[in-house]
Amino acid sequence: MSEPGFTCVTDIRVRYAETDGMRVVYHGNYLTYFEQARTEMLRAMGLPYAAIEAMGIFVVVVEAHVHYRRPAAYDDRLQVRASVRERPTNRIRIEYAVTRGDDPAVLVDGYTMHAFLDARTGRPVRPPKEFETIMQSFFP
């Protein structure tokens, strides 16, 4: 694609534990699915999240938005698409869309906004150099 940014799709199989009494995925669990997709996206970009923490930096969620359009059920095979579309500053915004199998209909979408904290002090910091270098390669 010619549009800037980066997208990564992660397959997630719905666990029974993740459903609720309505026999669908509990709404709060999509934030965990987003987290898993974000982890795989960062790994695919060349900077695994564990490596960022090893530099003494936490990437924390400062805002989350989720739009629930259709339910997912136990054992469904979901695709969770995570994308960075805007060049990150001291914040990074990641967008998500969940689909199922061959059906292009979006079940759930949303975004999360993240800040960088010093893991010891808990204070905001700039993203690490390695992070900025990698992001520049996707937003030239």
The residues annotated as belonging to the active site are 20
Among 74, 79, 91, 125, binds its own copies (CB under 8 A): 74
Closest approach, Cβ 102 to its own copies, in A, equals: 18
Q: Print the SS3 string covering the chain.
A: CCCCCEEEEEEEECCHHHECCCCCECCCHHHHHHHHHHHHHHHHHCCCHHHHHHCCEEEEEEEEEEEECCCCCCCCEEEEEEEECCCCCCEEEEEEEEEECCEEEEEEEEEEEEEEEECCCCCECCCCHHHHHHHHHHCC
Residues 11-70 that bind its own copies (CB under 8 A): 13, 15-17, 19-23, 26-29, 31-32, 35-36, 39, 48-50, 58, 60-69
Residue placing its CB nearer to its own copies in the complex, 55 or 62: 62
Residues interacting with its own copies, by CB under 8 A? 13, 15-17, 19-23, 26-29, 31-32, 35-36, 39, 48-50, 58, 60-69, 71, 73-75, 119, 122
